[in-house]
Amino acid sequence: MSKDLLQEQSDLTLDDICERCGLSIDTVTTYVHEGLVDVSGSEATGWKFTQTHMVHIQKARRLEQDLRLNPAGSVLVLELLAQIDTLKARLKHFDPQS
Amino acid sequence: MTMEYKDYYAVLGVEKSATEEEIKLAFRKLARKYHPDLNKDEGAEAKFKEIGEANDVLSDPEKRAAYDQLGQGYQPGQDFRPPPDWPNRAEGFDFTGRPGADGAQQQDFSEFFEDLFGRAQRQQQGPRQQPNFNAKGQDSHARIVIDLNDTFNGAKRTITLKVPELSADGHMVLKNRTLDVTIPKGVREGQSIRLKKQGGPGYGKGEAGDLYLEISFKPHKYYHTEGNDLYLDLPVTPWEAALGGKIETSTPAGPVSLNIPANSKQGGKLRLKGRGIPAKTPGDLYVVLQITLPPADSPKAKELYQTIAKELDFNPRAQMAAQL
Give B216-260 as a DSSP string. EEPP-SSEEEETTEEEEEEEE-HHHHHH-EEEEEEETTEEEEEEE
Q: Stretch B127-135: mean pLDDT, rounded?
A: 57
Using an 8 Å CB-CB cutoff, list chain A residues near B253: none
Best residue of A37, A66, A86 to probe chain B, by most B CBs closer than 10 Å = A66
Q: If residue B260 lies in a helix (H) or strand (E), which one and from where to where?
A: strand B254-260
What is the rounded distance in angstroms from the CA atom of residue B177 to the CA atom of residue B163? 7
CATH number of this structure's domain A8-94, picked from the four choices 3.90.1640.30, 3.30.1330.40, 3.10.180.10, 1.10.1660.10: 1.10.1660.10
Contact predicate B292/B236, CB 8 Å: yes
- Give Cα separations from A81 to A60, A73, B140, B227 (angstroms): 11, 12, 20, 15
- Give Cα separations from B29 to B21, B61, B244 (angstroms): 12, 20, 57
Pairing of β B285-291 and β B229-236: parallel
What is the rounded distance in angstroms from the CA atom of residue B77 to the CA atom of residue B200? 29
What is the rounded distance in angstroms from the CA atom of residue A43 to the CA atom of residue A13? 12
Using an 8 Å CB-CB cutoff, list chain B residues near A82: 190
Option in B37, B139, B192 nearest A52 (CB): B192
Option in A5, A63, A89 nearest B224 (CB): A89
| 8 Å CB contact of A5 and B184 | yes
Report the 10 Å Cβ neighbour count for A17.
23
Q: Stretch B135-147: mean pLDDT, rounded?
A: 81
What per-residue confidence (pLDDT) applies to B102?
44
**Dihedral of the alpha carbons of B138, B186, A39, A60, in degrees to the nearest 10:** 40
Using an 8 Å CB-CB cutoff, list chain B residues near A86: 226
What per-residue confidence (pLDDT) applies to B164?
67
Whole-number mean pLDDT of chain B? 81
What per-residue confidence (pLDDT) applies to B120?
37
Q: Which of B7-21, B91-105, B259-273 has the lowest mean pLDDT?
A: B91-105
What secondary structure letter does DSSP report for B185?
B
Option in B32, B141, B186 nearest A67 (CB): B32
Give phi and psi for B308, each to the nearest 5: -60, -45
Half-sphere exposure of A52 (CA within 13 A, CB side): 18
* B44-96 residue pLDDT tens: 888 999 999 999 999 988 888 888 887 776 666 666 666 665 655 454 555 54
What per-residue confidence (pLDDT) applies to A32?
92
Pairing of β B172-183 and β B245-251: unpaired
What per-residue confidence (pLDDT) applies to B33?
92
What secondary structure letter does DSSP report for B29?
H
User: What's the complex ipTM?
Assistant: 0.75
What per-residue confidence (pLDDT) applies to B170?
66
Contact predicate B236/B290, CB 8 Å: yes
* B260-307 residue pLDDT tens: 999 999 999 999 998 999 888 889 999 999 999 999 999 999 999 999
Using an 8 Å CB-CB cutoff, list chain B residues near A5: 184-186, 278-280
* B194-222 residue pLDDT tens: 888 888 777 777 888 888 888 888 888 88
Question: Cβ of B237 under 8 Å from any chain A Cβ?
Answer: no
Strand partners, B215: B144
Three-class DSSP category at B321 = helix
Give the pLDDT band (50/70/90) at residue B118: low
Q: Which of A37-46, B109-118, B307-316 has the highest mean pLDDT?
A: B307-316
Please name the residues in contact with B173: beta carbons below 8 A apart, sequence gap of 6 or more: B164, B165, B166, B167
Using an 8 Å CB-CB cutoff, list chain A residues near B32: 67
Minimal CA separation from A11 to chain B, in Å? 14
